Structure 1
Amino acid sequence: MLCSESLATLLCIIALGYTSARDYKCAFEGSQQCVFRGVQLKSADQLASNTFSSSGTAPRNVKFASSTMAVVPTAVFQQFPNVEQLDSSFSGIKTLMGDTFAEANNLRELNLTGNKIPSLPNNLFNGAKKITTLDFSQNDISEIQESTFTGLNQLRVLKLDNNQIATLPAAVFNPLTSLEALDLQRNMLSKIDDSLLASCTSLISLNASHNVLQKFETKQFLREWSVDAIDVSFNRLKAISIPKNLRKLVASNNQIQSVQVLGKEPSLIFLRLSHNKLTSADQIPSFNKLVTLDLSHNQIESFDFGSVSKFRNLILLKLDGNRLTTVSNSLVSDVTYLKYVHLAHNQLTRLDMETLRTLPRILKLDLGYNKLTQLDAKHISDRFPVLVRLVLTGNDFQCDKIADLVKELKYAITEYKTTADQCKTGQRLVGGICCS
C-alpha cells in the first residue's frame, strides 16, 4: 500500500494499523492444552489491537509456542477467565506490568522460564491469589521488590534459579506460608538472611547451590516437622549447622571446616560434604539415623572405623579422594549395617583385611587407585561372606607378592578382576590383578 498525500497517508496509517491487528486462535493439542503458535507482540501497545480465541471450548491450560512477546498478553485472562495453567516460556518476555495478572483470578500454575525479565515489581500478583506454582527460572532477574509475592499464601513451588539475584529483601518471602519448594540455585547470592525463610513454615526443600554464599544460618529451619532437603553446594561456606529436623543436606564444594548439629535426636539420613576442607571424620557429630555419609575429597589423612559407631544405621561411607595413609579399627564388636566402603584415590600402601574384621557384612570395598603394594586377604571368604565386589584397579602390586592374594580370591564369591587395558604402563595382568 503506497500513500503520497497527507490525508491519504493518515488513512494509510490507520489502515495499516487495522491490518496488523490479528485474532490469534489456539488449537487443542492433546486432551487439555490449548496452544497458540507464532504470536508476535513486539510491544505492549499491540495488546489492545489483538484478540485471542479458541478453536474449541474455553481452555483451562494455555501455552504459547514459537512466539515472541514483549509482555504477557493480558487479553488471554479476559477471554478465558477460567485459565488455570499458563505457559509463556521462552517467548522473549521483557516486562511484567503491575496489572499483568489483575484478571488471572483462577490461575494456578505460571511458567515464565527462559524469558528476559529483569525485575519483579511490588504487588505483581494482585488478582492472582490462587497461584500454587511459579517458574521464573532462566531469566535476567536482578531485582525482586519486597512486596512482589504479597497475597500468594497458596504458593507451594517457587523457581528463581538461573538468574542474577544478588540480594533479597528481608521480608520478601513472608507471605509464602504454604511454600514447600524454593529453588535459588545459580544466582549471585552472597548471604541468606538469618530469618529470610522463617515465615515459610511449610518449606521442605531449598536449593541454594551455585551461589557465592559465605554465611547461611539454619536456625530458621528448626521446627517440629521434617525439612526434606537443603542443597548449598558450590558456595563459599566455611561452617555448617544442621538442624535436628533436616533429613538431607548437600553441602559439597565449599570450604567447610566445622560441622555442628542444632538440637537433639537429629533426623539426618543423607549427608554429602565432599570437596571441603575437613581433616577428620571426628568433626562430624553423631547422627543415629544417617544412612549415607560422603566425606570424599577432603583433607583426611587417617581414619578409624571406630567412628562408624556414631552412625548406627550407616550403609554407605565414602572417603575416596582424601589423603589417607593409614586405616585403623577400634571397634570391639561387629557392625553389620555398613555395606559399602569407598577408600579409592588415597595414599594407602598396604592393608590387612583383618583391619576390617568387625565389618563382616560389607558388600563392596573400593580400594582402587591407591599405592597398595600388598593386600593381606587371608580367609576372606570366611571373614567377609557377602563381599561381592573388591576394587583393586590402579594400585602398585608387586607380582612376586600377590600369589596368596590371588589364591584367596580365586575361591571367593568376590568379583575383583580387572582387565589388561586398565593396567598402568609397565604392569602386567596376573590372576586378574595388575602388578609389576
Structure 2
Amino acid sequence: MSELTITGLNRRGDSLSYRFTTDSEKVEIHSVDFVSVDLSELSKCRALKSLSLWNNSLLTIDFTPLMDLPSLQTISVSSNALTSVDLKPLSYIHSLETIHLSNNQFSSLDLSPLSTIPNLTNLYLNTNLLSYLDLGPLKYCDELRRLDLSRNQLESIDLSSLSNCLKLSELILENNRINEIDLEGLRTCKSLSVLSLAGNPITHLDLVPLSNCDALKELSLYDMGLQHIDLQPLGNCQNLVDLDLSYNRIKSINLDSLRNCEKLRELNLRENPFDTIDLTPFSTQGQLGFLDLSYTYLREIRLYPLSFCETFYNIQAEGTPIPSVDVTPLVFTQINTFDYMNLGNSIVLTILSSDTLSRVNPEFAGAVDQFDVPVFSNNLDYIRKLISLIVQSEEDDWKLIHLMRDVICSLNIQSLGIFDITKNELQFIQDEYNIDTIKSRLVDLFLDQRKKQGTTILVDVEHLSSISPEISLHVPDILKEREHELEKIVVPIADEIVDLKPLLCTAYGFQLCSALGLGISCKESELDIILKALNRLNMSVSVTENSEAVYPSGQSDALRKYLYALIDR
C-alpha cells in the first residue's frame, strides 16, 4: 500500500493537494473550491468504488484516468460549474452504477458513451441548462432505475427509448419547459414507481400508457396548467400512494377510478377551479389519509366517504366559498388537532352535541362552530355508523327521527315524509342490508303512522303512488287531517312576539314557514303574511295573546324538537 496525491487549483490560483492510499475504496473532496483537478493518480487506485468531487467550482473535468478502474461504481461531480464534459472514458467502466452530474451548467450533453455501461442504474442530470437531450443511448441501459432531468430548460423530450428500460423505477422531469409529452414510451416500464412532470407548461396529458405501470406509487402533476385530466387509466395502478394535481386549471374532475387505488394515501387538488367534487370513491377505497381542496371553487363538500377511511388524518379546504361543512364524518377518522383540519372561513357543523364530541375528541370539538345541527346524510352505510354513535352516546331522541328521515331520502322515497319513531323502530336499519326489504319495512311504518293519525309533515301526496299504490289511497284522509290540525292549534302572542312552534308542528304550517324562511317565532307584522297565505287557501288558525300554546295531538316531544331544529337550520 502506498500513497497517491490528487492536486488541483482553486479560484485564487492556489495549488491544493489531497493524499489517499492506493487501496482507498472511497475518495471524497468536497467544498474546497477546486476549479480544476488532476485525477491521473487515481489510475493506481484499483480498489476505488466511489469518487465524489461534489460542491466545488470545477470548470473542467477529465475522466480518462478512471477508464481502467475495475471496481468503480459511483462518480459525482454535482454542484460545480461545468459547462461541458466528455463521457467517453466512462464507457469503459462496466462496473459503473451511478453518475451524478447535477447542478452544473450543461446546455447540451452527449449520452452515447453510456450505452456501453451495462450496470448503469442511476443517472442524475438535474439542475442544469439542458434545452435538448437525446435519450436514445439509454435504450441499451437495461439496469437503469433512476433518471432525474428536473430543473433544466428542456422544451421537449422523447421517452420512446425508455421502453427498453424495464427496470426504470423513477423518472423525474419536473420544472422544465416541456409543453407536450407522449408517455407511450413508459407503457412497458412496469417497475415505474415515481413519475414527476410537475412544473411544466403541459395543458393536456394522456395517462393511458400508465395503465400498465402497476408499480406506480407517486405521480406528481402539480403546477402544469392542466385544464382537464382523465384519471381512468390510474384505476389499474393499485399501488398508487400519492397523487398531486395541485396548482392546475382543472375545471372538473372525476375521482371514480381511484376507488381501485386501495393504497392511495395522499391526494392534493389544491388551487384548481373545479366547483364540485364527489368523494364517494373513497368510501370503498378506505385508505386515504390526506386531502387538500384549498383554494378551489367548491361551494359544497360532503365528507361522509371519509368516515370509511379510518386512517384519514388531514383535510385542508381553506380559501373556498363553502358556506358550511358537516364534519361529523371526521369523528370516525384519526383527525384530532386544529392543524390537521383547516376549513378556512366555512362554518363547521355537526349533528353531535358538544358533550359527546368533547368526550370523543376534545381538540376536535374545539374546531366546531355549531353543534346539534340536523345536517343531511344520503349514504345508508354512513347513516348506520351515525345511528350506532348517537345511540351509544345517548344523544337527544330527535336525532334518531332525523336519521330515519335521512334513510328515507337516501332510498329516494322521501315522499313518505317524517316518521315519529323511537330507537327500537330504527334498529332494523342496523341489521337489514336488503334494500327492498328496508323499503317494504318503511312503507309498513308509514301505514302504522297513518293508523295512529300521526304527522304528515313533508309527506308528498302527489308522489305517494310512485312508492306504493296502497299508500296512495290515504291521500284524501291526509288532506282532511291537515286542515283539521290547523283548526285545533292555538298560536300565542306575548310581548309582540309570535310563538310559531304550534304552527310548525302542522303540515301546512311547516311548509309555509319554511318557504318564508321563518324560525320558531316572528313579529306580528310577519304573522300577517302567514295569515294572508292561509286565507288564500281557505284556511285559518287561532291566534291569541297571553294564552297557552295548543299543539296537534299525537306527537312526541322528540318530533317537535326535530321540527324546531329543522326550521332553525
- For normalisation by structure 1, the TM-score amounts to 0.69
Listed as ranges, the gaps of 5+ residues in structure 2 are 374-392, 394-569
Contact conserved, 1:51 with 1:75, CA < 8 A, in 2? no
User: Residue 92 of structure 1 contacts residue 116 of structure 1 at CA under 8 Å; is this kept in 2?
Assistant: yes
Matching residue of 2:300: 326
**One of 194, 209, 229 as aligned partner of 1:258:** 229
Structure (1/2) with the larger strand percentage: 1
Q: Which ranges in structure 1 are unaligned for 5 or more consecutive residues?
A: 1-23, 27-35, 43-49, 406-411, 413-436
Whether the 8 Å contact between 1:238 and 1:258 is mirrored in structure 2 is no
Partner of 2:115: 150
Q: What do residues 382-406 of structure 1 show as CA deviations (whole Å, max 9, x unaligned)? A: 689865654987x9x7xxxx5879x
For residues 355 and 192 of structure 2, what CA distance do their matches in structure 1 show?
42
1:49-88 residue pairs with structure 2 within 5 A? 54=19, 56=21, 58-65=23-30, 67=32, 71-88=36-53
- Which residue number corresponds to residue 305 of structure 1? 279
3-state DSSP class of the match of 1:198?
A: helix
For 1:17-416, list aligned pairs within 5 A: 39-40=8-9, 54=19, 56=21, 58-65=23-30, 67=32, 71-97=36-62, 99-121=64-86, 123-223=88-188, 225-240=190-205, 241=207, 242-243=210-211, 244-245=213-214, 246-256=216-226, 257-262=228-233, 265-266=236-237, 267-282=239-254, 285-286=257-258, 287-289=260-262, 290-309=264-283, 311-328=285-302, 335-337=308-310, 339-340=312-313, 341-353=315-327, 356=329, 360-361=332-333, 363-364=335-336, 366-372=341-347, 375-379=349-353, 390=364
User: Residue 360 of structure 1 contacts residue 383 of structure 1 at CA under 8 Å; is this kept in 2?
Assistant: no
Amino acid at match of 2:222: S
- Would you say the 8 A contact 1:85–1:110 is kept in 2? yes
Asked if structure 2 preserves the Cα contact closer than 8 Å seen for 1:278 and 1:298, the reply is yes
Which whole-Å CA distance do the structure 2 matches of 1:270 and 1:55 have between them?
45
Contact 2:166 2:189 in 1 (8 A): no
Q: 1:212, CA displacement in angstroms?
A: 1.4
What is the rounded CA distance, in whole Å, between the counterparts of 1:120 and 1:270 in structure 2? 36
Q: 2-side partners of 1:175 and 1:205: how far apart?
A: 17
The one-letter amino acid of 2:223's match is N
Q: Tell me, what secondary structure is at the counterpart of 1:110? A: strand
Q: Is the 8 A contact 2:106 2:128 kept in 1?
A: yes
CA RMSD of aligned residues (A): 3.7
Q: 2: distance between equivalents of 1:302 and 1:165?
A: 40
* SS across alignment from 2:137: coil
Is residue 361–residue 387 contact of structure 1 (8 Å, CA) maintained in 2? no
**TM-score of the two chains, using structure 2 as the length reference:** 0.55
Q: Which has the larger radius of gyration?
A: 2
Distance 1:349 1:84, change over 3 A: same
What number of residue pairs does the alignment pair up? 357
Q: CA deviation at 1:98?
A: 7.4
Percent identity over the alignment is: 17
